[in-house]
Amino acid sequence: MKILVTGAAGFIASRVVERLLKEGHEVIGVDDFDIYYSRGQKEKNLMPVLLHPKFKLIEDNLATMALVTVLKGTEAVIHLAAQPGVRGSWGSSFHRYVTNNIQVTQRLLEESKANKLKRFVYASSSSVYGDVGEVLNEEMKCQPKSPYGVTKLAAEHLCQLYNLEYKMPTVSLRFFSVYGPGQRPDMAFHRFCQNIIHEAPMTIYGDGKQIRDFTYVDDVVEIIAASLLAEVVGQVINVGGGSPATLLEAAALLEEISGKTSPKTFLERQKGDVFSTRADTAKLERLFGSKPKMSLKEGLAREWEWMKKFVQSEDEEKAIKSNVQIIGGADEADLAEAKAEAKSHRKAKLKAKAGKNSKPAPDNSSSDSEAPES
């Protein structure tokens, strides 16, 4: 199948691209590398697929680009591009949510009408519900508590409309707090891992007793891939993790995994934050015959492993940049030299640190857990 994946360099989408290519699909990825978070992280997300012969990346803005050519011959659209961030959706940034979440979705639906798509998969969110119940099921009346949730719900409604009136084969998947390797830097676990590594306090909004149905990214990817063929057209479906936990419970798990504790700074509850998201997954199980399986502990351990490497590579890049500035007018050889220098400097620091803590010399895997100072 020829599939368009929007927001292709993002946390979830980049893994979807990888998965689809493994299945033999041809994938067109569109991403505008929005400044919401670093281009570097997004480029790293795409590393495994960039040179794949069946992958084409288009760097452009979905709100303005010519979609006709991109959509030509496309059989499915997986629409994961969005303006994310629940708490940042108030105030003057709201227009970004309207454009990127509502208008872009409408534009894609409109432009896809002529294409006889087999599927249009829309990434919705648990934030469409608001605080409407203990366990959230798709029949409940949605009352979003954040402007972000309002825009995600509006786009979901648009998908339903295009399904009803134009027979567009839409399906809306409501994702519940997705986490795992590659997680966005504004999200709780990414920040907590960074806090542990840099020996900084964790910031907890509210009392930390808010519950999230944390969902592991590859479980979400499985469902997205399956939604291309499953009998799900016209449906709205919860994609929740089945491992609800309070924020403090999750933070404690992360501390256990990392073997380090972090002080907590409690700040006031953020406007737009819901108290609890727990997914009723009956519909998911009925339509897909499966549901997310990853335990929170194992999923967090994988995010922690990824994060250590990510921080290390960021530190190396920073060191390279500062070395290159000193060298001035660096060419390829200079860069290689600077990189090697940064690496050996880091190793020396790790050794010194290990010695100071009078621990046995770290092997390759455990050396990762000794984060370089930033």
84 binds ligand UGA (CB under 6 A): yes
Binding residue (CB under 6 A) for ligand UGA from 3, 8, 21, 86: 86
- C-alpha distance from residue 314 to each of 84, 203, 342 (Å): 23, 22, 11
Binding residue (CB under 6 A) for ligand UGA from 101, 127, 172, 262: 127
Query: Torsion-angle region of residue 95: left (phi > 0), alpha (psi -120 to 50) or beta?
Result: alpha
83 binds ligand UGA (CB under 6 A): no
Q: Which of 36, 122, 129, 148 is catalytic?
A: 148
| CB nearer ligand UGA, residue 187 or residue 226 | 187
The span of 202-210, 253-261, 284-292, 300-308 binding ligand UGA (CB under 6 A) equals 202-210
From the list 66, 90, 73, 63, the residue with the least C-alpha distance to 28 is: 73
243 binds ligand UGA (CB under 6 A): no
| CB nearer ligand UGA, residue 25 or residue 212 | 212
Binding residue (CB under 6 A) for ligand UGA from 187, 248, 301, 324: 187
Give phi and psi for 30, each to the nearest 5. -120, 135
Measured CA to CA, the distance from residue 252 to residue 246 in angstroms comes to 10
The first and second tokens of residue 160, run together, are: 């339903």
CB of 265 to ligand UGA, least distance (A): 9
CB of 28 to ligand UGA, least distance (A): 24
212 binds ligand UGA (CB under 6 A): yes
Binding residue (CB under 6 A) for ligand UGA from 4, 46, 158, 247: 247
| CB nearer ligand UGA, residue 5 or residue 250 | 250
Measured CA to CA, the distance from residue 144 to residue 151 in angstroms comes to 9
Kindly determine how many residues on this chain lie close enough to bind ligand UGA according to the rule CB under 6 A: 20
Give phi and psi for 136, each to the nearest 5. -95, 120
276 binds ligand UGA (CB under 6 A): no
CB of 269 to ligand UGA, least distance (A): 7
Measured CA to CA, the distance from residue 58 to residue 6 in angstroms comes to 10
| CB nearer ligand UGA, residue 25 or residue 184 | 184
**Helices marked H in 169-258 — which ranges?**
188-197, 217-226, 247-258
> Catalytic residue at 148?
yes
CB of 352 to ligand UGA, least distance (A): 31
Contact indicator for 308, 197 with CB cutoff of 8 Å: yes
CB of 19 to ligand UGA, least distance (A): 20
Q: Which residues pair with 55 in a beta bridge?
A: 27
193 binds ligand UGA (CB under 6 A): no
Each residue 288-327 as x (binds ligand UGA by CB under 6 A) or -, in order, gives ----------------------------------------
Burial (Cβ within 10 Å: 0-12, 13-18, ≥19) of residue 23:
exposed
From the list 94, 88, 71, 81, the residue with the least C-alpha distance to 122 is: 81
Binding residue (CB under 6 A) for ligand UGA from 125, 194, 235, 262: 125
Measured CA to CA, the distance from residue 36 to residue 248 in angstroms comes to 26
* DSSP E strands, 95-144: 119-125
Count of alpha carbons within 13 Å of 374, Cβ hemisphere only? 16
191 binds ligand UGA (CB under 6 A): yes
Enzyme catalytic residues: 148
Q: Which residues bind ligand UGA (CB under 6 A)?
A: 84-86, 125-127, 175-177, 187-188, 191, 203-205, 210, 212, 247, 270, 273
